[in-house]
Structure 1
Amino acid sequence: MGYRLSKIYTRTGDSGETGLADGRRVGKDHPRVEAMGEVDTLNCQLGLLLADLAKQQARWPGLAEVSDVLLPCQHRLFDLGGELAMPEYQAVDEREIARLEDVIDRWNDEVGPLKEFILPGGSRLIAQAHLCRSVARTAERRCQHLNASETLRPVLLAYLNRMSDLLFVAARVIALRQQVAEVLWKAAAKPE
């Protein structure tokens, strides 16, 4: 593969606009740019989670499967960002959603039903998985906002929705496999 970025700075964005793959110039706060940025943020946060998982796999070998499931998600998120930048580029498909759903179902069976609300904590890995889940929801909202004015393929919106579900269940699986108790929400006492 050839080099795609021969020059990192172009100065063309200094005025608050950026170029899209189709040649359009739009504001850096355009809904498409916002959606692309939030998907990129999710990918970055997922990278941190994967790096932390790699450091802990020797201690908790069950975390290797979590990494194996999440690593392809980074590539699909990059594909999704590519599709946001170049709508004619279509790489995310229903098979990937089915893969996520299979894992969600399998992991959900492993952790059992949720009886209480849980908080993002217990270990750094659990909290990072929840942070990724939260960013996935933000990316989904940004894409839904864009979809209101420029129709996106439904598979992209479904993929982000499944990603947040996967990351929620991943946080629970990490807790189970690390043998860390989930942090249960304690409601504030009712006022007298």
Structure 2
Amino acid sequence: MHGRINPTALRLMDACELIMRDITTLEELTARRIAVAADATPSAISYHFGSQEELIVAVAERVYRRLNAERLTLLRKAVERRRPAPADLDEVIAALIGPSIRWSLDPTSGYPVLSHFTSLAQRSGDPQHYRRITENVEHHKAFIPPLKQIAPWLDDVDIGWRLNCALGIRSQVTRSRERTAILTGHQIDLHDPEGMIARMVEVIAPMFRRHG
């Protein structure tokens, strides 16, 4: 949604987001529950968004924008701190993966909204609704110029590949905590975001360093 949002539509989005933070499965999210929380009627969802599904997409898009804004703010700080020299590699990687790790461990964040959205997108027979979020990588592309300055021997393809691998590492850890705990013998505190970020940076950074 663009421009000024209708007050009722905004209340519906706020209510939907709050409920999605608390529920375990999307089956618990009903039009009536959203409407009651928003002091609106269930028909208001269709009127303002077309469907409950589109409301969820709008809410997820808003949450995703907040996450990406945090990511890009950290990137800008990393770049400015060393300008005109290349940014610190570890700091750039922490900007890329850190917000998601912190959000995934913060019960007050919008991370559950993104998790539910991912589940909905994966099981939908019509992925068109979700592409504007799932295929949006502009915020990731913002990391390419600083990384090229850090590692000029890598071209855009090499950096893009490594970026995607870095995001894969982050996703694997945030979405498969139990498996991570088992594979590490329960010796890593998976509830310590800064410790987890530091460990992931340690693994990811060598992908952008020159070897030999």
**TM-score greater than 0.5 by the shorter chain:** no
Q: Which one has a larger percent strand, Structure 1 or Structure 2?
A: 1
| TM-score, scaled relative to structure 1 | 0.36
Q: Which has the higher contact order (CA 8 A, sep 6+)?
A: 1
Question: Which one has a larger percent helix, Structure 1 or Structure 2?
Answer: 2
